[in-house]
Amino acid sequence: MGGELVLPGRKWVSWLGNVLGGGDPLEGLKRVLGFQVRSSGAPGPLTLKEVEELEQLTQQLMQDMEHPQRQNVAVSESCGRCHQPLARAQPAVRALGQLFHITCFTCHQCEQQLQGQQFYSVEGAPYCEGCYTDTLEKCNTCGQPITDRMLRATGKAYHPQCFTCVVCACPLEGTSFIVDQANRPHCVPDYHKQYAPRCSVCAEPIMPEPGREETVRVVALDKNFHMKCYKCEDCGKALSIEADDNGCFPLDGHVLCRKCHTARTQT
């Protein structure tokens, strides 16, 4: 038995490594106990008295640490994915109201680790940003995923700002629109301009006035007419749509009033 012993530092390296997060074990002890060690480098030889003091302080530290350690062990937390217990010295991720092993906290779709990354919860499962985006519906107009508000019309999904008239591109959200046979949305004026029957006199579409829902279309001799365009071809007299004396008296496909009809038949 000599006067000096070598401090058995190894044991403390691992032990303090867990408790204090690594580093020089003697520095760690110093931080915890305010204990003065002789050298700041590798643990050097100490006197027996110093070793005794150190061991006594270590014992005390062990006791102080035992209590919280036991408590931590009693709270048996397990990984939300693999359901294996989480060792308390092991780094863990807290997310979605659960704890996970870092290696267990992965994207539900592509399995990449999500620790320290932006992730999204889809029905309680974590997704990386890319896979989350893939789960989103795509806009029928621009093809981009819809992350915010979605407008559903004609059975398809749209960004509200992408649901526009295919002719004039005016926004259709919250207004009336009409779809054509290919299910493409049109504002009401453009739909009528494109698809409304045309007047056989002026060739303009027969469509409601702005702000009106309906219009009157006169059909005569298999042709369409605006109300205002339905008049005698010869004298310009407005014709009644009733089958009375002021109505149309057609002759060889011509729209005539009664008087002009009679005049033409007499020449």
Q: Determine, following the binding rule CB under 5 A, whether residue 151 of this chain makes contact with Zn ion.
A: no
Residue 8 DSSP class? -
Phi–psi pair at 131, nearest 5 degrees: -70, -35
State the Cα–Cα distance between residues 91 and 69, nearest whole angstrom: 16
Q: Determine, following the binding rule CB under 5 A, whether residue 226 of this chain makes contact with Zn ion.
A: yes
Q: Which is nearer to Zn ion, 70 or 123 (CB)?
A: 123
Which two three-digit tokens encode residue 27? Answer: 């520095």
Phi–psi pair at 145, nearest 5 degrees: -65, 150
Q: Determine, following the binding rule CB under 5 A, whether residue 235 of this chain makes contact with Zn ion.
A: yes
> Per-residue DSSP letters for 68-93?
HHHHHHHS--B-TTT-PBPPTTS-EE
Stretch that binds Zn ion, among 7-15, 20-28, 120-128, 177-185 (CB under 5 A): 120-128
Phi–psi pair at 218, nearest 5 degrees: -95, 125
Q: Determine, following the binding rule CB under 5 A, whether residue 248 of this chain makes contact with Zn ion.
A: no
Which of 26, 54, 107, 248 forms a contact with Zn ion (CB under 5 A)? 107
Q: Determine, following the binding rule CB under 5 A, whether residue 79 of this chain makes contact with Zn ion.
A: yes
Shortest distance (Å) from residue 217 CB to Zn ion: 10
Q: Determine, following the binding rule CB under 5 A, whether residue 82 of this chain makes contact with Zn ion.
A: yes
Shortest distance (Å) from residue 17 CB to Zn ion: 23
Which of 29, 46, 114, 232 forms a contact with Zn ion (CB under 5 A)? 232
Contacts of 79 (CB under 8 A, 6+ apart): 85, 86, 92, 99, 100, 101, 104
Shortest distance (Å) from residue 14 CB to Zn ion: 23
Contact 220, 255 (CB under 8 A): yes
Q: Determine, following the binding rule CB under 5 A, whether residue 165 of this chain makes contact with Zn ion.
A: yes
Stretch that binds Zn ion, among 87-95, 113-121, 147-155, 222-230 (CB under 5 A): 222-230
Q: Determine, following the binding rule CB under 5 A, whether residue 255 of this chain makes contact with Zn ion.
A: no
> Per-residue DSSP letters for 187-200?
EHHHHHHHHSPBPT
Which of 48, 73, 87, 110 forms a contact with Zn ion (CB under 5 A)? 110
Which of 46, 92, 114, 131 forms a contact with Zn ion (CB under 5 A)? 131
Q: Binding to Zn ion (CB under 5 A): which residues in 23-62?
A: none
Three-state SS letters, 118-163? CEEEECCEEEEHHHHHHHCCECCCCCCECCCCCEEECCEEECHHHC
Q: Binding to Zn ion (CB under 5 A): which residues in 174-203?
A: 187, 190, 199, 201-202
Interacting residue ranges for Zn ion, rule: CB under 5 A: 79, 81-82, 101, 104, 107, 109-110, 128, 131, 139, 141-142, 159, 162, 165, 167-168, 170, 187, 190, 199, 201-202, 226, 229, 232, 234-235, 237, 257, 260
